[in-house]
Structure 1
């Protein structure tokens, strides 16, 4: 359909048009998720699909829609620097909307959620194109959109300790994997917020969380064997990970809030995460170890902020 058709839909309150079948409209919008023009992708396809999902227009079709959207995560996977990332990244964003619809309306069994979780984790660790803003194409933002998808999964009642632990491991794998892309468009904050959601669930014990933080901390310190020539440090992935640890610390220290359109977020974020103080100290230990010449030994333990 023409741009004027979709603009009229946007201007009419974003309601589902009644002049065409919903499946035809959906097929066209899903194809537009990979459009190189951000007016079609960011400003039309995603907001319309998100609005219709939130309004319940797909409630009887949610599993089929989710399976179709999840296939977009595999579109050109392994490519880097081309336009295929747009479909993958915006598929992640829409899949998160579908999962959040279930989080709000309790519509689905665990089976499709787990299937989509497997698709999401497989995609995120294998994604190579980590650009944020692409000149002439707008947002690619695979890491940020992946973080949002993981945030929806982390809220799901169908995920327990094992699945949430896997998500943490995938986030660490993604942070520590070699990359040429500096994350400078809010990616670390959105990833940190996803981790906060996992912590707020209170399902993952401290004896898993502390080694996970230590693994990230080890990734931001240079490891050179005797006799090896020095190389530039930090690497890009080490700097991204360092920024992530600082972002996670700030969010834990200041406290964050839930999303207003999610039914259970007010309750989920009512109190700080379990073991908040221990987690703050564990992160401070890694930040201090990254630059031991800078920080007073043990300084973090004397300056730990009070709870929100």
Structure 2
């Protein structure tokens, strides 16, 4: 259909058109998620699908909708610098909305959501195109949209201690994997928020989280060969990892809040994560170790015996 047709749908309250079937509309809108024109992708397809999900239009069809979105994560995977990233990125963002609906309404089985989680994490660690803003095409933002998807999965009742641990590992894999891109559009904040969502579940104790932080810290320490710093340091992945640690420290220190449209977030984010004070110190240990020449050494207070 023409852009004018879809604009008329937007202007008429974003209701499902009466002259076309929901299935026909959905197929076309899902295809538009990869459209190179941001007006079609960002101003029509994404807001319409999100509105219909929120209104419950797909509640009886949510499993099929998610299954139809997932192949978009694999579309052109491995390519870098072309337009295929738009389909992958907006498929991730849409899947996050679908999982968010299940988080609110408890509509899905564990098998479906866990399968989506497998597809999401497999895509995220393999995504090569880290561009944020693309001239003429608008936002690609695969790293940020993937972080939103991980945060949606982190909220899911279908994800227990094991699955949440896997999400942590996926985040570490993502930031430590070499890339030519330095994140410039708040990707580290969105990833840190996904980590905070995991921590607010209070299913992961310090024995899991602190070694994970140490893994990130090891990735940003200056390597030396025969006493000399290796060339091209810090690399983009080191910068991104360092930025994530700093963003996580700030979010732990200030606290974060949930989304107003997710009812369970009010309870999930009502209190600070367990072991917050210890986690702040653990993050600071990694940040300090990155530049030991700069920061004053500190030691953690020993417990009174």
Query: How far apart, in 2, do the equivalents of 1:133 and 1:179 lie?
Result: 17
Q: After superposition, where does 1:91-170 map in structure 2 within 5 Å?
A: 91-170=91-170
Which residue is equivalent to 2:17? 17
Query: How far apart, in 2, do the equivalents of 1:18 and 1:118 lie?
Result: 36
Which residue is equivalent to 1:82? 82
Which residue is equivalent to 1:173? 173
Residue 178 of structure 1 deviates from its aligned partner by 0.5
Which residue is equivalent to 2:280? 280
Query: How far apart, in 1, do the equivalents of 2:52 and 2:201 lie?
Result: 28
Query: How far apart, in 2, do the equivalents of 1:175 and 1:67 lie?
Result: 27
Query: How far apart, in 1, do the equivalents of 2:33 and 2:158 lie?
Result: 28
Question: CA offsets, 1:147-168, max 9 Å, x none?
Answer: 0001110000000010000000
Q: After superposition, where does 1:4-83 map in structure 2 within 5 Å?
A: 4-83=4-83
Residues 1:217 and 2:237 are matched in the alignment: no
Which residue is equivalent to 1:248? 248
In structure 1, runs of 5+ residues without a counterpart are 303-308
Normalising by structure 1, report the TM-score. 0.96
Residue 209 of structure 1 deviates from its aligned partner by 0.4
SS at match of 2:60: helix
TM superposition outliers: structure 1 runs of 4+ over 6 Å = none
In the superposition, relative to structure 1, how do residues 292 and 229 fare at CA in structure 2: closer, same or farther (>3 Å)? closer
Query: How far apart, in 2, do the equivalents of 1:264 and 1:129 lie?
Result: 33
In structure 2, runs of 5+ residues without a counterpart are none
Question: CA offsets, 1:160-190, max 9 Å, x none?
Answer: 0100000000000000000011101010000
Query: How far apart, in 2, do the equivalents of 1:30 and 1:15 lie?
Result: 16
Question: CA offsets, 1:77-104, max 9 Å, x none?
Answer: 0000000000000000000000000000
Name the count of aligned residue pairs. Answer: 301
Normalising by structure 2, report the TM-score. 0.97
Residues 1:296 and 2:300 are matched in the alignment: no
Which residue is equivalent to 1:200? 200
SS at match of 2:151: helix
SS at match of 1:59: coil
